[in-house]
Chains A and B, each alone.
Chain A
């Protein structure tokens, strides 16, 4: 018997899905819209949805007041660097947890995850002191290290779950074929896990790109990424919503575009049809 899903239910679910989608998208839409308004229109009541004087003035002012490219470059280096470093550390870690687990593996995984439950501000003081003493304050390398460390549990977890789905026999076959540990991980495991690694990389890049607590607290000028760029527009001199929105739009645009083009990679599964 065919599944009895009525057209009416399909329509209802579709409408619901669109509604949820729109709800999630709305703040981004509103930010982008506001960035094209004048400051007066940005705070007008009732809010203006489409019919207002479209202007690029905010972008011009933002570009004039701050050096967008420098912030962007810092964001790219910090997010990219922490992701690459994190992946290089997490692949061997996840390999050992997935394929040669010990009694403590589950506990270690949970313990790693538990560090994410600690409010970041709880370790602000010790980390700041460490940064000052090591001369890492307001340096890109310092940010790369701290962002890598805070995201490492998530990278290891994600890779661990992807690796778990790879049949261990294939790795054993590689061992029988004369592959050492390094060859096994780089020539066999990693290429097989590419879709999983890609989505992990992407998610981690987004997380690092959006991270605001540490990037704001540990930087001043030279290493400040786009989060600091946005924050500089919610200033004590009063809120300039239109300019803030323009700055926000410029900050999220790269990651939005990246996300759009890698949608497929994000949802692609791990199954290849290798075994049986």
Chain B
């Protein structure tokens, strides 16, 4: 069971409102990612669900019961922190067993479940070590072990991968996704990395300045972002926005087109311009193109073999079907 409902939940620190009243429903077994720029309130929202911060308005329901005034220890949730927050004076075994010990399980059952969790996370050889003697990835696994061992209603992850190096991050991302497939437990995952959000989530919640901008599956957000903020935040590289002639011609204040929906050619196309920077990644090439009559450069994704460089003339043709239109307030036009 892991059904979490937020009803008009809000949070202020003093006079500063960090979370504006919002509603959200997280259903059993879902992998939900809170994503947004730093300071958008995503970690605060997670901490409100965890009970580590008190809400200043609204209600939180976990599995149907009102959890608003329930202390974190009694909410039945497990959390993995960005800093891992392992107990430095305890061995890995004792770290993982701690929630079981707090739940009053007997020693034999504690050991059994710790061994199981350690086997799942490849930690069996490290059980007697202290956290200080582990690498970053191993510490992260211990933190996850401590979370899974007591079979919580839901897992809360607060930017768990941001202290790992890039290669390890991709590996751990897959491990967490696999863990979710296996356990089928509700997971709420906070990140500022939209790639993590896109690859892991069943449902993404995009936040900005304490407000939910949009909730949906990764592809829903990618295909039909509700406003310019979501359009710009989801997708990498970012969506290009064009105003003035190109927009008014299509009956909008601004239009957006993703780099992968523009065709690049060295001979002909709808827009002409000059290559500013070209980034050759091998599989793909990204051109940052200065188009005549547009201030900001337009980013285009082309094949890895397109051989154009700084200063070369380039012609671009957008896929008209995939142009997003926005009004002056940044809202999507149908």
* Bound Cα distance A179, B101 (Å): 9
Q: Is A180 an interface residue (CB 8 A)?
A: yes
Could you list some 29 contacts between A and B, CB below 8 A?
A: A169-B81, A169-B82, A169-B85, A170-B86, A170-B87, A172-B52, A173-B85, A173-B146, A174-B98, A175-B52, A175-B73, A176-B52, A176-B72, A176-B73, A176-B78, A177-B73, A177-B99, A177-B102, A177-B146, A178-B103, A179-B73, A179-B98, A192-B88, A194-B89, A272-B89, A272-B132, A274-B84, A274-B87, A274-B131
A sample of 13 more A-B contacts (CB under 8 A), given A173-B79, A176-B156, A191-B89, is A170-B85, A170-B88, A173-B85, A174-B87, A175-B52, A177-B73, A177-B102, A180-B73, A187-B98, A273-B88, A273-B131, A274-B84, A275-B85
Counted as pairs of residues, one from A and one from B, with CB atoms less than 8 Å apart, the total is 81
Interface string of B76-114 (1 = CB under 8 A from A): 011101111111110000000011001100000000000
Q: Is A10 an interface residue (CB 8 A)?
A: no
> A179–B132 Cα gap in the complex (Å)?
23
Q: Which residues of B contact A170 (CB under 8 A)?
A: 85-88
Interface digits, B34-74 against A, CB 8 Å rule (1 contact, 0 not)? Answer: 00000000000000001110000000000000000001111
Complex Cα–Cα for A174 and B81 (A): 11
Q: Is the CB of A274 within 8 A of B72?
A: no
CB pair A275–B83 under 8 Å, yes or no, is yes
Q: How many residues of A contact B (CB 8 A)?
A: 23
**What separation, in Å, do the CA atoms of A276 and B150 have in the docked complex?**
24
Interfacial chain B residues near A172, Cβ < 8 Å? 52, 72, 79, 81, 85
Closest 5 pairs between A and B when the two form their complex, measured CB to CB: A274-B88, A178-B102, A272-B88, A173-B85, A273-B132
Tell me which residues from 156 to 198 in chain A have a Cβ below 8 Å from any Cβ of chain B: 167, 169-170, 172-180, 183, 187-188, 191-192, 194
Which residues of chain B are near A194, meaning CB under 8 Å?
A: 89
Would you call B78 and A192 a contact (CB within 8 A)? no
Q: Which residues of A contact B266 (CB under 8 A)?
A: none
B163 at the interface (CB under 8 A from A): yes
A188-B98 Cα distance, complex, nearest whole Å = 10
In the complex, how many angstroms separate the beta carbon of A229 from the nearest chain B beta carbon?
A: 41
The chain A residue with its CB closest to the CB of B77 is A176
Distance in Å from the Cβ of B266 to the closest Cβ of chain A?
A: 49
Contact B72 A175 (CB under 8 A): yes
Main secondary structure of the interface of A (DSSP, over half): helix
**Closest chain A CB from B193 CB (angstroms):** 18
A73 to B81, CA, bound (A): 50
> What residue in chain B is nearest A178 (Cβ atoms)?
B102
Task: Report A-chain residues with C-beta under 8 Å of the C-beta of B150.
Answer: 177-178
List, in ascending order, chain B residues with CB within 8 A of A177's CB.
Answer: 73, 78, 98-99, 102, 146, 150
Query: Is there an interface contact between A274 and B81, defined as CB atoms closer than 8 Å?
Result: no
The reply to whether A175 and B71 contact each other, CB–CB distance below 8 Å, is yes
A175 to B79, CA, bound (A): 10
**Whole-angstrom CA separation of A177 from B72 in the bound complex:** 8
Query: How far, in angstroms, from A180 to B83 measured CA to CA in the complex?
Result: 22
- Contact B86 A176, beta carbon cutoff 8 Å: no
> Which of A31-80 touch B at CB < 8 Å?
none
